[in-house]
Amino acid sequence: MSYFTIAKQFGVARKDANIPKGVVLYSARHSFATDMLDRTGNIVLVEKMLGHLSVTPTQRYLHPEIKGMAEFVNERNARRAKQLAR
């Protein structure tokens, strides 16, 4: 199935759901990528989910929230500190 076929189906679904015209398949893909990164903190997972061959194109899709990333880093550092304290 081509991108254009999927984009056309997305446009029909967007209209049916009363989603504003400015929301297009491409912006939904960006939102999905950002949400996945915010939830997992794993850019390699996001890369694989988007079907990219490297993280370079994946990075262009991402608009991570600073708050979400700070929370992730803080939680990860706390877990690591506990491991090192053992």
Question: Quick one: what percent of the chain has pLDDT higher than 90?
Answer: 15
Backbone phi, psi, residue 43, to 5°: -65, -30
Counting the structural domains of the chain, the total is 1
Rg for the chain, CA atoms, rounded: 17
Give the predicted TM-score (pTM) of the model. Answer: 0.55
Which residue do the tokens 């199935």 mark? 1
Q: How far apart are CA 2 and CA 67, in angstroms?
A: 36
Q: Domain span at residue 26?
A: 3-85
Contact in structure between 64 and 37 (CB atoms under 8 Å): yes
pLDDT tens column, 36-74: 888 888 889 999 998 999 988 888 877 766 566 667 777
Q: How far apart are CA 37 and CA 35, in angstroms?
A: 5
